[in-house]
Structure 1
Amino acid sequence: MEKQLEQIRDQQKQSWNKFSPGWKKWDEFNMRFLKPMGDAIINNLNIKDGDHVLDIAAGTGEPGLTLAALTPNGTVTGTDIAEGMLEIAKANAAARGIKNYKAQIADVSELPFDAETFDAVSCRMGFMFFPDMQLAANEIYRVLKPGGSFATAVWAGPEKNNWVTTMMSVIQKHVILPAPPPGAPGMFRCAKPDVIANLLKHAGFNHITQSEIAGKVDYGSFDLYWQIMMEVGAPIVAAMSQADEPSRQKIKEEVAALFQSQNTGGTALLNYGVLIISAQR
């Protein structure tokens, strides 16, 4: 991998480790939010007992931990670049008595596994952050057995995800954020329908399918929404760190007003939209 891409990966590792305490604190909430995406991935993998599964960008463990229950005589290996996140995954596995789950530090661009090792590979909300997405797709193809399945979830466009744009749209009015280079890692990098499909085709995958799921996440209150986003949202915290205290207060007031305008009935619901892409080797 090019040196510039290695630097991006190292920055990501540092950021995810820094925010791992927030992800641990809000793990139950976040896993409830992300469960429909994990369920959709699992439904596309057709796991059989005895399968060996790789869960890339495993974070705090899901959907790998749920996959482990589907293959009690097989194994699930969860990989991530951030050891802080994987420590949470291992603790979650132990708390649930899951014996066939292993967490391992690994870069998707240089997977430490032999070719044709896994029957299935999952990746929930990781692909858009990989420095070299084609290299990642090639590596996933390499470690899959012939006929093996791959499924991933990525965010659809910003217009379908006001759970994050509610905050970022206001921040961008007060903080000058440099435009990311074309193709740089980011939440909506894979939002166009053909992005991942083309990567997978180029890697050699067949039977590529795509669907979309949408729903609402219930934050309970604006205060809880603000707290969660400030404790798990690395890009948000980085942007807010550039604002002085008066600006930070102004941002919070405007975000609150926008949040309330989207919940005129007293609810605390925001939208999400996700693309689910699956393929076979």
Structure 2
Amino acid sequence: MRHIANKEQEQAWNGYEGTYWATHQARWDSVNAGFNEPLLTAAAIAEGDRVLDIGCGAGCTTRLAARRASDGRALGLDLSAPMLARARESARREALGNVAFEQADAQVHPFGAGTFDVAISRFGVMFFADPVAAFANIGRALRPGGRIAFVCPAEPGRTEWLLAMQGLRDLLPVGGLGAPGGPGMFSLADPATVRDVLSRAGYEAVGTAPAEAYGTWGRDAADAAGFLLDSGPGRYLIDQAGKDVRDRARRRLVDLLSPHEREGALRLRTAALLVTARRPG
């Protein structure tokens, strides 16, 4: 039986949120694709490496890592059964034989000690109930001298989808979406917090660097607004409003996003931190 410490996250990612992400896998990959190369370059994956992908979702980064570790292997770990089903389907379709996926909570999963050379994550490490314990557990899974590299949201002031959502604050309770420091999306937005958490978890050579990328959120402003408001955070806000307010919020969000339309696509900037560290040894 799997041991789960992050039960609220398990419920969310096996409910509406996980199903939404799995259904819209290609869209989310388009949103976040600009971070793939910086992440994998920072991870310095070698041909024979054993790679652990934390919060792998539908498995895009796991499959990319498996291609770099052509003589090694890659394991994607996530709480979400719907997204892991998509991940496995994609790996089969791409005939990748050195990749596997497992449903588990990285905070408490009983990894074999020293079984991986490198751990990676693209926006999958911000929701741990106890981040120090989670990163320490991941660290035990790394061999001595093993590496970790991950991307997490930075301070929200330069992330354009969130700035657009803040334009709805008189209609919807959007204030909590961009609150750094507490549990949630922006829990690791402060570089000092990241360094403290990883140092307490037993890592050394912790580095944080700003990273930005533009992602495609839709064909146009209306398409992107619908996608945003139907995703987990957007749906939570919309569900608290009456129909008239919901309609006004959608119309206003379309107006706020319209200036970002270019050549048949709606592209928005996301600001992140690219974090690297090493297990001693």
Same fold by TM-score, threshold 0.5 exceeded? yes
Name the counterpart of 1:56.
54
Aligned residues with identical type, % of pairs: 26
Greater mean alpha carbon deviation, residues 206-215 or residues 180-189: 180-189
> Matches of 1:265 and 1:97 in 2, distance apart?
34
Q: 1:33 corresponds to which residue?
A: 31
Residues 229, 278 of structure 1: CA spacing in aligned structure 2 closer, same or farther, 3 A cutoff? same
Contact 1:155–1:274, Cα closer than 8 Å, also in 2: yes
Separation (CA, whole Å) in 2 of partners of 1:179 and 1:271? 20
Report the CA distance shift for 1:99/1:266 in structure 2 as closer, same or farther (over 3 A).
closer
Aligned to 1:90: 88
Rounded Cα–Cα distance in structure 1 between residues aligned with 2:18 and 2:43: 28
The whole-number CA distance in structure 1 between the counterparts of 2:194 and 2:270 is 19
Query: In the alignment, what sits opposite 1:253?
Result: 251
- Please, what is the CA RMSD of the aligned residues? 2.4
> What residue identity is the alignment partner of 1:270?
L
Task: Give the Å deviation of 1:263.
Answer: 5.4
Quote the residue 2:43 is aligned against: 45
Structure 1 residues 147-226: aligned runs within 5 Å? 147-167=145-165, 169-176=166-173, 183-218=181-216, 219-226=218-225
Distance 1:127 1:249, change over 3 A: same
TM-score normalised by the chain length of structure 2:
0.89
The answer for the alignment partner of 2:278 in structure 1 is: 280
Structure-2 change in CA distance of 1:10 and 1:103 (3 Å) = same
Residue 80 of structure 1, CA deviation: 0.7
Q: Name the one with the larger helix percent.
A: 1
Residue 183 of structure 1 and its aligned partner are, at CA, apart by 4.6
Q: Which residue of 2 aligns with 1:99?
A: 97
User: What are the superposed Cα offsets for residues 50-92 of structure 1, whole Å, 9 maximum, x if unpaired?
Assistant: 2111101010002111010112221111111111111111111
Q: 1:79·1:103 contact (CA, 8 Å) conserved in 2?
A: yes
1:229 corresponding residue in structure 2: 228
Whether contact under 8 Å (2:226, 2:250) holds in the other structure is: no
Question: How far off is 1:227 after superposition?
Answer: 2.6
1:109 pairs with 107, 110, 134, which one?
107
- How far the C-alpha of 1:122 sits from its partner, in A, is 0.7
The answer for unaligned runs of 5 or more in structure 2 is none
SS at match of 1:110: coil
1:61 touches 1:89 (CA, 8 Å); kept in 2?
A: yes
What residue number does 1:131 align with? 129
The verdict on how the C-alpha distance between 1:178 and 1:157 changes in structure 2, with shifts beyond 3 A counting, is: closer
* Letter matched to residue 162 of structure 1: E
Provide TM-score, normalisation by structure 1.
0.89
How far apart, CA to CA, are the structure 2 residues paired with 1:156 and 1:175?
A: 23
Structure 1 window deviating more from structure 2 (235-244 vs 197-206): it is 197-206
- Which of the residues 11, 21, 25 maps onto 1:14? 11
* Shift of residue 176, structure 1, vs aligned partner: 4.0
Check conservation: 1:151, 1:277, Cα contact below 8 A: yes
Give deviations 1:164-187, integer Å, cap 9, x for gaps. 3312x1443223468599853222
The residue matched to 1:34 in structure 2 has which SS? helix
Cα displacement (A) at 1:267 = 6.7
Partner residue in 1 for 2:144:
146
Task: Name the CA shift for 1:241/1:148 in 2 (closer, same or farther; >3 Å).
Answer: same
CA distance in 2, matches of 1:32, 1:152: 18
The CA deviation string for residues 118-162 of structure 1, in whole angstroms up to 9 with x for no partner, is: 111011102221121111111111111011110010011211111
